[in-house]
Amino acid sequence: MAGRDDLLALLLRIGDDHLILGHRLSEWCGHAPMLEEDLALPNMALDLIGTARMCYGYAAEIEGDGRSEDDYAFLRDGTDFRHILMVERPNGDFAFTILRQFLFAAYMHPVWDGLTGSTDARLADHAGKAVKEMAYHVRHSGEWVIRLGDGTEESARRMMAALDELAPYIGEMFESDETAQRLVTAGLLADPDAVRATFDGTVSRTFAMAKLPSLDVTAGISGGRTGRHGEVLGHLLAEMQFMQRAYPGQTW
Amino acid sequence: MVVAPRMDPEIDTNIDRDDGLAAVRHIAESVPDPELVVVTVGDLGIIRDLRRDGASVEIDVTPTYSACPATLAIELAIETAVAAAGYEARVRRVLAPAWTTDWITPAGRAKLKDAGIAPPLRRAGSEVDDDAYFARPQVACPRCDSLDTTELSAFGATACKAQYRCLSCREPFDYFKCL
């Protein structure tokens, strides 16, 4: 049986994935290659941070130790975060950012779709909204993967380089452990095989249109789910958490 | 730009107190959306239910997008408007069933169009797969009704809008995305 600790673990995994990727996307604000993307990237970041807020708010209620959603975001250290390593990678160029966004959305869309039927009502309710948002992210980022992959020599080169760099991080999305298995058995989390099948379908359909080679997911770099992160997370948190660390309890 | 008249919550304060629930509903539904002030929250269809809870009234409100920054502002505006009319009310945030643009009322759709915002296409019964790559719904220009329009940006000034341009009258306009 999945217990309280399993549900908390799930909320932190989903919440941290969304918060950290949302923060990375927000770094593009004011720097995107074109105005439309300067609107798109922070808008997608907003969706992701909205989901993180739901997860942290729910986790805070379960823990009931007086912490708020902000404490989870701003007062945890790097080793307490449970996101997959892909989302903390530095943004690189636009090709890297958009391919990472596509891979994440292609993975989360079936996860949320499955969560609409979760035995946990709070997660199921939120999933009804998140699944629609993820479908929009898949479409937006997938179209860019196709434009760049099947674009100019330069854009195709950059998309290939992004794929080479991201490939080792894809396997971690589909790793399972005892916590995940208990959550699946209890009906809180979707069947990972079904998620994987949908992900594979979305990726192969998109990569074919983008003239990218088919994806070969093998075991790669992992450790994020147990709090083993890259040095880059420290730099990210230093910026994201600065205000609350420097001025504890500061509000506006 | 033609802007539809905006319902003022102040005008509803003289409603017969005996019919409290209907009056509270009317006041709550008349609150303008803080980011799209031409429509009220009633027009958007986000007030899902009201019920008596002792001396006060509980109002179920559903957010449009999960991270819509206006969510809290809307909830506070509803509570403030209802309190200003002398009622005690509390907003309860409900997530399910998830809001869909199909819940925007015909009056709300007309107000959006008058303000130069193309109302969302209907999701229910639609044959169009909005999620397919490079497929876009055929959006009518809110100014000249031409269907010869093109998407400029998939994201706009608020989470709920995309930017389009009419190729007939050449005017750019906002499209309220179908959700």
CB spacing of B98 vs A132 below 8 angstroms = yes
Whole-number pLDDT of residue A244: 94
Say if residue B170 is exposed, middle or buried (CB neighbours under 10 Å; 0-12, 13-18, 19+): exposed
CB spacing of A47 vs B96 below 8 angstroms = no
Domain boundary among B93, B124, B151: B93
Interface test with B, best of A138, A139, A207 (most B CBs within 10 A): A139
Whole-number pLDDT of residue B7: 47
Return the HEC string of A112-139: HHHHCCCCCHHHHHHHHHHHHHHHHHHH
CA A241 remoteness from chain centre: 19
How many residue pairs from chains A and B have C-beta atoms closer than 8 A?
Answer: 76
User: B75 near B93, Cβ under 8 Å?
Assistant: yes
Q: How many domains does chain B have?
A: 2
Whole-number pLDDT of residue A185: 94
State the pLDDT confidence band at B52, using cuts at 50, 70 and 90. confident
What would the pLDDT profile of B132-160 be if each residue is shown by its tens digit?
A: 899 888 899 999 999 999 999 999 888 88
Q: Are B32 and B82 part of one and the same domain? A: yes
**C-alpha distances out from residue B151 to A60, A147, A234, B122, Å:** 41, 16, 40, 18
Q: Which domain does B22 fall in, by range? A: 9-93
Average pLDDT over residues B27-52: 93
Q: B117-118 and B89-93 as β-strands: parallel, antiparallel, unpaired?
A: unpaired
What domains can you pick out in chain A, each with its CATH number? Answer: 4-246 (1.20.1260.10)
Which residues of chain A have a pLDDT value below 50? Answer: none
Q: Are B135 and B79 part of one and the same domain? A: no
- CB neighbour list of residue B149: distance below 8 Å, 6 or more residues apart: B138, B139, B140, B141, B164, B165, B166, B167
**C-alpha distances out from residue B153 to A38, B150, B163, Å:** 10, 9, 5
Angle at A103 between CA A180 and CA A182, to 5 degrees: 5
- CB neighbour list of residue A227: distance below 8 Å, 6 or more residues apart: A78, A79, A80, A81, A82
CATH at B56: 3.30.300.130
Residue of chain A nearest B94, judged by CA positions: A125
When CB atoms are compared, the residue of B66, B98, B154 closest to A47 is B66
CB spacing of B133 vs A39 below 8 angstroms = no
Q: Are B75 and B120 part of one and the same domain? A: no
Of A232 and B17, more confident: A232
State the pLDDT confidence band at B17, using cuts at 50, 70 and 90. very low
Amino acid at B21: L
Q: Are B172 and B121 part of one and the same domain? A: yes
Interface test with B, best of A23, A36, A109, A147 (most B CBs within 10 A): A36
- Specify if B60 maps to a domain: yes
Whole-number pLDDT of residue B121: 85
Residue B8 pLDDT exceeds 70: no
A208 touches chain B (CB under 8 A): no
List % helix, strand, coil for chain A (3-state, nearest 5).
Answer: 70, 0, 30
Q: Write down the mean pLDDT value for chain B.
A: 84
- Specify if B108 maps to a domain: no
A210 touches chain B (CB under 8 A): no
Q: Are B73 and B122 part of one and the same domain? A: no
DSSP B91: E
- CB neighbour list of residue A247: distance below 8 Å, 6 or more residues apart: none
A54 touches chain B (CB under 8 A): yes
Whole-number pLDDT of residue B19: 59
User: A14 near A50, Cβ under 8 Å?
Assistant: no
What would the pLDDT profile of A190-223 be if each residue is shown by its tens digit?
A: 888 999 999 999 999 999 999 999 988 877 899 9
What would the pLDDT profile of B84-138 be if each residue is shown by its tens digit?
A: 988 888 999 998 888 899 999 999 999 999 999 999 987 765 555 667 899 888 8
